[in-house]
Amino acid sequence: MTGNRLTSWAFADAFVSEDEVLHWARERAREAGLRSVSPGTGAALRLLAATVDAKAVAEIGTGTGVSGIHLLHGMRPDGVLTTVDPEPEHQQFARQAFRASGFASNRARFIPGRALDVLPRLADAGYDLVFCDGDRLESLDYLAESLRLLRSGGLVAFEGVFANGRTVESGPQPTEVLRLRELLRTIRESEELIPSLLPVGDGLLCAVKR
C-alpha cells in the first residue's frame, strides 16, 4: 500500500472528531485492557444507525460505551439501545458515559451476560440494527441470531474482521481468524444479505437483510 493511500486512510478514520466524553470512555477502555472501535468506525456506525432510522439497536459487547455513544447519536430520539456484555463493571463505565453525553437513562438497556445466552431472549424481527463486537469465535452464531432479530431491511455489522491484517495473510492462522474468514465467506455468499466490507478501523463488515 502506498504512503498516500495510508495517509488518506488515516485522514478518513479521523474525519469525524470526538468529544471529551468519548475520549474519557476510550481512556477507561485502555485502562481495562479493552479495544474500542476507531473514530472512523464509530462515525460509520452513527451513519448506519441514521440511515436505517434505527429505533431499536442490539449491541454485542458494551465495552465502556464508545460504540454505544456513536450508535445512540445516529438513532432516533426515541430509540433504545440494548447492549450486552459479560462484564457488568464495564457497563457501569458505559452508563456514566451515556449520561455524560446527555442521553436519558431510558435510551439504553444494559443486560449483563454472555451474548449467546441473552440474544435468544430478544424479540424476533424486533431490531433495526445489530452491532457485533464480541468473541470472534462466536461470530457465526452472532450472525444466526442477528438474522432472527433483524426486520427486513435491517442491518448487521461486525467489527474487527481484518484482525490486524491476519485475515488476508497467508500461512497458518489462529482459530479466531479462520472463523472470521468463514464469516466473511458466509455473508458474501448469502442470498439473504446485501453485503459490504468497509475499510475503517480494523474492518467493519456490514450487510442488509433482504
pLDDT at 6: 83
Give tens-digit pLDDT for 200-209: 999 999 999 9
Give tens-digit pLDDT for 29-71: 999 999 999 999 999 999 999 999 999 999 999 999 999 999 9
Distance between CA atoms of 166 and 177, rounded to whole angstroms? Answer: 7
Q: Taking all residues of the chain, what is their mean pLDDT, rounded to a whole number? A: 96
pLDDT at 12: 85
Q: Which three cell numbers stand for residue 76?
A: 432516533
Distance between CA atoms of 107 and 56, rounded to whole angstroms? Answer: 10
Residue holding cell 435491517?
A: 154
| Domain boundaries of the chain, sorted by first residue | 3-209
Do residues 90 and 113 touch, judged by C-beta distance below 8 A? no
CB neighbours of 195 closer than 8 A, spacing ≥ 6? 187, 188, 205, 206, 207
For the cut 80, the answer to whether the pLDDT of residue 10 exceeds it is: yes
Do residues 108 and 83 touch, judged by C-beta distance below 8 A? yes
pLDDT at 1: 58
For the cut 80, the answer to whether the pLDDT of residue 144 exceeds it is: yes
pTM: 0.96
Q: What is the pLDDT averaged over residues 85-99?
A: 97
Distance between CA atoms of 7 and 41, rounded to whole angstroms? Answer: 17
pLDDT band at 2 (very low <50, low <70, confident <90, very high): low
Q: Which CATH class is domain 3-209?
A: alpha beta
Report the percentage of the chain scoring pLDDT > 70.
Answer: 99
Range name among 85-89, 146-150, 157-161, 168-172 with the lowest pLDDT average = 168-172
